[in-house]
Amino acid sequence: LVQSSRQTVRELEDVTLKFRQQLMQITRMQETDTDVSFLKERCGKAVRYYQEKVTSHILVPLRNCNRELTGNRKKNRTFLKNMVRLEGDIVLFLENMKKVRYNNIALVDFKT
């Protein structure tokens, strides 16, 4: 779980660097253009990508691990508590991604 999660995070970091550069270019264009449709499109695609990657490669395996640990609570109580907190933090992170805004304009219009 840890190794595969690390690999996923490394991949996401690489994608994030590229997306950040693209986002900077788009926001520079937005200074002269009031149409945010392209920005909304790119952010929507990015959020969907991150949601899918984090959910399938980190959150689902974490939940499976938490279910396995639940069977032996006495031995794993503290570890399980931390894993459940981590799961909650990841879910909150994913939900907050859906609230991305630019100049008070919602950039993501989907519900999952």
Using one digit for the tens of pLDDT, what is the confidence trace for 6-43?
899 999 999 999 999 999 998 888 777 778 888 899 99
Q: What is the pLDDT of residue 75?
A: 64
| Residue 55 pLDDT | 93
56: left (phi over 0), alpha (psi -120 to 50) or beta: alpha
The answer to whether the beta carbons of residues 66 and 80 sit under 8 Å apart is yes
C-beta separation of 49 from 15 below 8 A: yes
pLDDT at 92 (0 to 100): 92
Q: Which of 40, 64, 55, 42 has its CA nearest to residue 93? A: 55
- Residue 31 backbone dihedrals phi, psi, to 5 degrees: -65, -25
User: In the structure, what pLDDT confidence band is assigned to residue 51 with cuts at 50, 70 and 90?
Assistant: very high
The better pLDDT of the pair 34, 94 is held by 94
Q: What is the pLDDT of residue 82?
A: 83
Q: According to the model, what pLDDT value does residue 19 have?
A: 93
| pLDDT class of 57 with cuts at 50, 70, 90 | very high
Judge contact between 36 and 102, C-beta under 8 A: yes
Question: Which residue in 44, 38, 39 sits closest to 111, CA to CA?
Answer: 44
